[in-house]
Amino acid sequence: MKVGNVARVRGRVTEYKGGVQITVTDVVGERDPNVEVLHWVECVHLARNCYNLVNVSSSSGSGSGSVVPPK
């Protein structure tokens, strides 16, 4: 794997000694250059429709929402 390549990484996020630790279980190189863009489109869709975290303000005019933590 070279620096700059896109990879799918699977694992667990935990806390260790007061910090965040990622234990990787699987790394697979991606051949499709569009997979990263698709991932972010899916993240926006989930935030808007499932997680209820996107606060779309009409004052920005750009239509891009900002992610806010749940209450």
Instruction: Report pLDDT digits (tens) over 18-50.
Output: 999 999 999 999 999 899 999 999 998 888 888
Question: Residue 47 falls within a domain, yes or no?
Answer: yes
Please tell me the predicted confidence (pLDDT) of residue 27.
93
Question: Residue 70 falls within a domain, yes or no?
Answer: no
Q: How many domains does the chain have?
A: 1
Please tell me the predicted confidence (pLDDT) of residue 41.
93
- Domain that includes residue 16, residue range: 7-62
Long-range contacts of 47-54 (CB under 8 A, 24+ apart): none
Q: Who wins on pLDDT, 37 or 56?
A: 37
Is the model's pLDDT at 17 over the cut of 50?
Answer: yes
Q: Which residues contact 23 (CB under 8 A, 6 or more apart)?
A: 11, 12, 14
